[in-house]
Amino acid sequence: MKHPDLPKSEKKNVSQAAGTVGFFTLLSRILGLVRDMVLARFFGAGMAADAFFVAFRIPNLLRRLFAEGSLTIAFIPIFTEYLTTRTRKDAFELARAVLTLLALILVIVTLFGVLFSPWIVRIQAFGFGGSGVKYDLTVFLTRMIFPYIFFISLVAFFMGVLNSLRHFAAPAAAPIFLNVGIIGAAYLISPRCSEPIVGVAFGVLIGGILQVALQIPWVFKEGLKVFPQWQPDHPAVKRIGLLMLPAVFGSAVYQLNSYIGTLLASFLVEGSVSWLYYADRLVQFPLGVFAIAISTAALPALSTQAAKNDLDQFGDTLSHSLRLVLFIALPSTVGLIILGEPIIRVLFERGAFDARSTVMTNQALFFYALGLWAFSGIRVAVSGFYALQDTKTPVKVSVLAFVANLIFSLALIQPLKHGGIALALSLASALQFCLLIFFLRGKIHMGGLQPVLISALRSIFAAAVMGFGIFYLHSRWLIVDSSAGLWSTAINLAGLIVIGMIIYFTAARITGCRELESVRQMMPRPVSRRGKK
């Protein structure tokens, strides 16, 4: 009897969860910027900073590959299946078996990482040599920081458990504590160390411990006991491992894509690598705050519907998530294209980052922004495959996209220089998104793509109206140029962004975009519940 109301309720749950994840991700990104400013202030770009960034890179790479990159997305569908089709006790026994095996593997990996740090540094930073002060400091910092992979992998596991149980706040807030740990250590511990950068390494470990500590009370509240349960032959453990393998490979392909882009840029004029890096950071902001938040919120709901074999509702939830992510990505694209240069000027143009760097970074940003809708859509589409416990298809598609990216890069790098590398990634991502949707339609019923296309066309129209509005104001009234001071530029830029949002939401309401209600539901709950008493 309640079946017809469920999709609407599930859409609301996904929207509210995405709002929670997006809010804490926004806070984390802001604190991450503060963290980078603090590190730049105390350590600049000297030997100590180089040593720290190299030491932090390996555990960070392992985090992306094995923790957040594959463990969570492989664990959630299986754990949700147990919650849906079996008892809560069975699901928690599975979780304890996975946690026990995971902890053992992490201890071994950490010990090997600490033991082989000298060789890791030689491979990762060959130019540092095999001896000397810089090399020795990097090895020491690597040994200090490597246990971070133990803590962050536990965080990824608890994130999978809590997200499956529809608790999103604590896992989403976890990255904030890493930034807090590093910032606090830079001010409180570093001054007391003979080598100040060692204090920052302590801060990484403190941040990791704080992230785990934040999850524990919520896990206990749900009734999951974390004492060991040695059961490596548990049938679901093997299934999770089989899902993880292609997911790890897919994450590796993504990292390889990034490496190829950097490698090709290194053959261009000096500064090309940095221009691409700064442009990518700006594109990652809306991608991280919104697209990743929506895909994170959608995965447990999709996994539940897949476990029930309710593919109609599965398709409805997936369609809703795609419409919502495009509703946000499309105006973000227009905004970055029109206001990219003043945004770069306000954030980066000072010191060694001159006006030429702003112009060149904006060129890369323009081409990256063209692919923002595809980058965002891929996140949601891949969540659909993971919910169906199919990690092989996304990997096959990502390999095809990698080949396409390489071909596009080689073809475009000559005429467009570093901009060609950015455009190549956007084109390859568009191909990847279209292929993912094509293969998804063969697996489930999405009610046709017509609702998604109609919603996208409405969003494009509203974004175009917004674009004309802020372009006119930018050129006639709220002028943002290099002759104005920083604060004047920042205030005018903020005014343009706010006015652009008002124009977009007004145009969206006029054209009948249903996603406006979902965006309202993404607002913090105290705001959306005011009238419910």
Q: What does the DSSP assignment read for 172-190?
A: HHHHHHHHHHHHHHHHHTG
Q: What is the pLDDT of residue 445?
A: 62
Instruction: Round to whole Å and give the CA distance between 76 and 157.
Output: 9
CA distances from 166 to 33, 171, 383, 484, 526 (A): 29, 11, 16, 48, 18
Q: Taking the CA atoms of 102, 108, 111 and 117 in sequence, report the sign of the dihedral they define.
A: negative
Structure tokens at 213: 């500590």
DSSP letters, 220-236, are: HHHT---S----TT-HH
CA atoms within 13 A on the CB side of 501: 8
pLDDT at 477: 66
Q: Which pLDDT band, with edges at 50, 70 and 90, does 479 fall under?
A: low
Tens-place pLDDT, residues 299-334:
888 888 888 888 778 888 888 889 889 999 999 999
Please tell me which residue, 464 or 347, carries the higher pLDDT value.
464
Helix (H, G, I), strand (E, B) or coil at 448: coil
How would residue 485 be classed by pLDDT, with cut points 50, 70 and 90?
Answer: low
Q: Residue 480 in 3-state DSSP?
A: coil
pLDDT at 352: 63
Q: How many residues does the chain have?
A: 533
Give the residue-averaged pLDDT of 348-369: 83
344 contacts 120 by C-beta, under 8 angstroms = no
- pLDDT tens, position by position, 143-157: 999 999 899 889 988
Tell me the one-letter amino acid at 179: N
Q: Tokens 């902001």 belong to which residue? A: 285
Determine the pLDDT at residue 482: 56
